[in-house]
Structure 1
Amino acid sequence: MAAHWQAPLPDDLPIAAELVLPQMLDAAQRSGLPLPTTHFEPLRQLGRRRRRLLACMRPAAATAPLHSWEAWGRRPARALLDGSGGVGHCPAATAWWLHLAQTRPHLRDRQAGARAYLAAATSGSWPAQPGILPSAWPVQRFEMVFVLHTLLVAGILHDPRLADVAAPLVGRLAGMVTPQGVGFSEHFAPDGDDTAAAVAVLA
Structure 2
Amino acid sequence: MPQTDLRVVKTLRQIDRALLECLAETPFEKITVEQLCRAALINRSTFYKYYQSKYDLMERYLQRTLDAFRRQVNVAFVNASPDRIHHLIYQKNFETVLRFLYKHREEYIMLWSIPLEQGVFGRMVQVVHDAILETLPTPPEGPTLYADLYARLFASDMMTMVRWWLRYEDQVTAAEVQELMNRNMKQGMFRTFRELMK
Higher relative contact order (CA 8 A, sep 6+): 2
TM-score by length of 2: 0.29
